[in-house]
Structure 1
Amino acid sequence: MRRVAITGVGAVTPVGNDAATTWTNLVAGRSGVGRLTTFDTSTFSVRIGGQVRDFNLRDLVPEAAGWRHLSRAGGFGLVAAVEALREAKVTPATYDPDECGVAMGGSVGRPELQQVVDIGYLRERTDNREIFRHPPGDVLLRDQNVPVAAIARLAACTGPMVSVSTACSGSGNAIGEAFRHIQDGDATLMLAGGFDALTTWMDLLGFSLLGALTDRYNDDPTRASRPFDADRSGFVIGEGAVVVVLEELSAARARGAPILAELLGYSSTLNAYRITDSPPDGRGAIQVMAQALAESGLGPADIDYVVAHGTGTPGNDASETTAIKEVFGADAHRIVVSSPKSMTGHLTSASAALNLLVALGAIQHSVVPPTVNLDTADPRLDLDYVPLVARPMPVSGVMVNAFAFGGTNTCLVVGTPKEES
């Protein structure tokens, strides 16, 4: 089986418009949660989120890359991909285009609800003789595959293409499927990750009606996202993109690429439980974590850190803790666990890729970012969640979790690459 290296990472997140700034702010415990300005939230019970700030796509990539057809989320993805390629020292001439592919997670596109309202309003008042027409190109702004195509065009990738929409596990599935393509010899290089921007009024309304979002911190937004805290009351919506470059390990070494880590294992499972809740016994998460760990060739004693899904919803955090205890047994209380969502909010389809960025940073810099806002211990959750302050420590094996609405689970295992065997 071919081995897979991670050689570059790029990011656009609520705490930084590149990977380095994102990492620095996460280690420092800085929150990117604030008042949403993507629309007028004044009549909403929830008015905050993890929003990308000071971002202008036109300043960052050439028009020829197709930015005029990109959604807000797609723009984040394209910029993250450009950075990842640059950091990996990859150009269109590095490999044959047929050896390179793209795999991305994102939300399925849909019309803005305001457009639907406009159409209905005008049809009602004109006896159906007129219909409000938006520019035809608007349909491309809602197509999940357009950003993937733009990334492939920019990077000259004509190999495998994967576009998945599995909600909060989307980028985990995309990275895992890219991993499989390289393992199986279908590609030498894959750009993989995810992008999302559910900071719209329909998304905020929908999640609020589900009772999934916390509404207690509109006046103190940086304290809102509270994974594993006794007073957690729901997640905080976020947006952004994270993209990594995956390469066949020997090819990456042959060209002198920077090797950030080796991707060792991947699994995906489905809970078949409820749409919005995790099983209290952690069974879907247990299965996915155990399978990824088994593929990696590592044992519980080899994992130093779990980058948790850690949303801040009461059920998810308890279920994930139960699963970690079951999978790691006696090692569970030795391993550190933390959630970057405490600072960024929930990047939905991009959240697994953000967790992978954190895993890479921990391996490279020997420090684990904190779970901020963990002020009051929940007696039912008794693992080491790295509360409030980053933890300097050597890290060589990391598990990355992502669990989604609908019950989809993904797990990735990364580690310090060993010498060629």
Structure 2
Amino acid sequence: MRRVVITGIGAVTPLGLDAATTWSNLAAGNSGVGPLTVFDCTGFPVRIAGQVRDFDPARRLPATAKWRHLSRAGQFGVAAAAEALAAAGAVASGPPGDACGVAMGGSVGRPDLRLLVDIGRARETTGRADVFERQAPSLTLTGNQNLPVAAMARILGATGPMVGISTACSGSGHAIGEAYRLIQEGDADLMLAGGYDSLTSWLDVLGFSLLGALATGYEDDPTRASRPFDSTRSGFVLGEGAVAFVLEELESARRRDAPILAEILGYAATLNAWRITDSPPDGNGAVQVMEGAIAESGVGADGIDYVVAHGTSTPGNDESETVAIKKVFGDDAYRLLVSSPKSMAGHLTAAGAALNVLAAVGAIRNSLVPPTINHETPGRGLDLDYVPRTARPAAVRAALINAFAFGGTNTSLVIGGAP
């Protein structure tokens, strides 16, 4: 089976507008959660988020008028992709276009309901039927899930596989895993993979609030809101952003002297078939997906030193994931370092798994495991080493990356050091 390595990383996150800054803030335990300013959230039950700030599309996106139709999430994704490709030198010296492809996780675009309400009111007020016709046709493009992926393919010059995946919070985990499979099986030599998302809209904030999924009561102290595995955790914090990777067949990367940052060793995907929004208390689904990725990696459970947890800060998920880790690793679970980047960035939804991969690569390359900030008093039964509050120096041979989503979809990846 062909070996797959990571040769470039790009990021636009609440922790930084590039991969290096994002990693630096992860390692430092800095929070990117703050007041939500994407829309006027006066009167909303939640008014905080892990929001990307000071992002200038004119500076970060290719100077091509065709990209002007990108959504907010799509802009983050294309910027992260361009950074990853530049870091890998993939555009200048990569394989031919038909050997290159793109696989990205993202949310399916949907109409702006406020815009539709405004149009309806305008029709009632004016009595004119051409209100719809006077809307910009580009609105259709802005909501198209494939547009950002196509933009990335154009930058790379890729004419090989193009995959857009929408599996909620595991989307980028699936995208990276499927890109890994395509290279493994010889369908591509290089894949741009990762995820992008921005569910910081009024509809998403209101919807998740009504579900009771978001942390409340932290408007005066937003950085303390995301508290994975802590006894006082009350819900997750919405985030936004994008993280992209260049995945490449090992010998192809060596031939062009590309920087080899890490190797993908294993991947698995499962479905809980339980409830839409909850993780099963017995860890079912998560157990199988972790076991599958570890088995494929060949490193064995005793070769994993770090688990980058899904760690959402919701009561059910954190308990279920901890139970699953204990079932997979047995007594060895207490040796592991387990931490959640969501404690700092919030939940990047479809891009969340990709941020976890960035944390894993950083930990392996720097022998430093990012912390779980705001972890002060362990919750009942949550007795693993969650690297509370401060990063931990540690040699990491291999890391297991988890992503579990609404709908019950799960992915796990195993990442090792550069061969």
Same fold (TM over 0.5): yes
Partner AA of 2:183 in structure 1: I
What does 1:63-78 correspond to in 2, within 5 Å?
A: 63-64=63-64, 66-78=66-78
1:149 equivalenced with 2:150 (yes/no): yes
User: Offset at 1:120?
Assistant: 2.2
Work out whether residues 92 and 156 of structure 1, in 8 Å CA contact, stay in contact via their aligned partners in 2: no
Partner AA of 2:12 in structure 1: V
Distance 1:129 1:394 in 2: 66
Aligned partner of residue 24 in structure 1, secondary structure? helix
Work out whether residues 397 and 414 of structure 1, in 8 Å CA contact, stay in contact via their aligned partners in 2: yes
What is the match of residue 59 of structure 1?
A: 59
Distance 2:305 2:288 in 1: 20
What is the match of residue 351 of structure 2?
A: 350
User: Offset at 1:220?
Assistant: 0.5
What is the match of residue 321 of structure 1?
A: 322
What is the match of residue 331 of structure 1?
A: 332
What is the match of residue 163 of structure 2?
A: 162
Instruction: Report percent identity of matched pairs.
Output: 66
User: Offset at 1:379?
Assistant: 3.1
Aligned partner of residue 349 in structure 1, secondary structure? helix
Distance 1:321 1:348 in 2: 20
What is the match of residue 375 of structure 1?
A: 376
Distance 2:251 2:103 in 1: 21
What does 1:30-179 correspond to in 2, within 5 Å?
A: 30-64=30-64, 66-126=66-126, 129-132=129-132, 133-179=134-180
User: Offset at 1:65?
Assistant: 7.0
Aligned partner of residue 163 in structure 1, secondary structure? strand
What is the match of residue 267 of structure 2?
A: 266
Partner AA of 1:168 in structure 2: C
Aligned partner of residue 401 in structure 2, secondary structure? strand
CA RMSD of aligned residues (A): 1.1
Partner AA of 2:112 in structure 1: E
Distance 1:187 1:114, change over 3 A: same
Partner AA of 1:155 in structure 2: L
Partner AA of 1:406 in structure 2: G
Work out whether residues 100 and 188 of structure 2, in 8 Å CA contact, stay in contact via their aligned partners in 1: yes
**What do residues 158-192 of structure 1 show as CA deviations (whole Å, max 9, x unaligned)?**
10000000000000000011001001100000000
Aligned partner of residue 179 in structure 1, secondary structure? helix
Identify the range of structure 1 (250-259 vs 175-184) with the bigger mean alpha-carbon deviation.
Answer: 250-259
**What do residues 349-405 of structure 1 show as CA deviations (whole Å, max 9, x unaligned)?**
000000000000001100000000001121310000000000001111000000001
User: Offset at 1:95?
Assistant: 1.2
What is the match of residue 290 of structure 2?
A: 289
Work out whether residues 14 and 52 of structure 1, in 8 Å CA contact, stay in contact via their aligned partners in 2: yes
Work out whether residues 58 and 67 of structure 1, in 8 Å CA contact, stay in contact via their aligned partners in 2: no
Distance 1:378 1:324 in 2: 16
Distance 1:301 1:363 in 2: 16
Work out whether residues 61 and 75 of structure 2, in 8 Å CA contact, stay in contact via their aligned partners in 1: no
User: Offset at 1:125?
Assistant: 3.7
Partner AA of 2:383 in structure 1: D
What is the match of residue 395 of structure 1?
A: 396
Distance 1:183 1:5 in 2: 10
User: Offset at 1:270?
Assistant: 0.8
Aligned partner of residue 207 in structure 1, secondary structure? helix
User: Offset at 1:215?
Assistant: 0.9
Distance 2:333 2:244 in 1: 30
Work out whether residues 93 and 256 of structure 2, in 8 Å CA contact, stay in contact via their aligned partners in 1: no
Work out whether residues 65 and 150 of structure 1, in 8 Å CA contact, stay in contact via their aligned partners in 2: no
Partner AA of 1:280 in structure 2: P
What is the match of residue 188 of structure 1?
A: 189
User: Offset at 1:218?
Assistant: 1.0
Aligned partner of residue 8 in structure 1, secondary structure? strand
Distance 1:104 1:126, change over 3 A: same
User: Offset at 1:129?
Assistant: 3.2
Work out whether residues 225 and 232 of structure 1, in 8 Å CA contact, stay in contact via their aligned partners in 2: yes
Aligned residues: 418
What is the match of residue 363 of structure 1?
A: 364
Work out whether residues 140 and 146 of structure 1, in 8 Å CA contact, stay in contact via their aligned partners in 2: yes
Work out whether residues 14 and 238 of structure 1, in 8 Å CA contact, stay in contact via their aligned partners in 2: yes
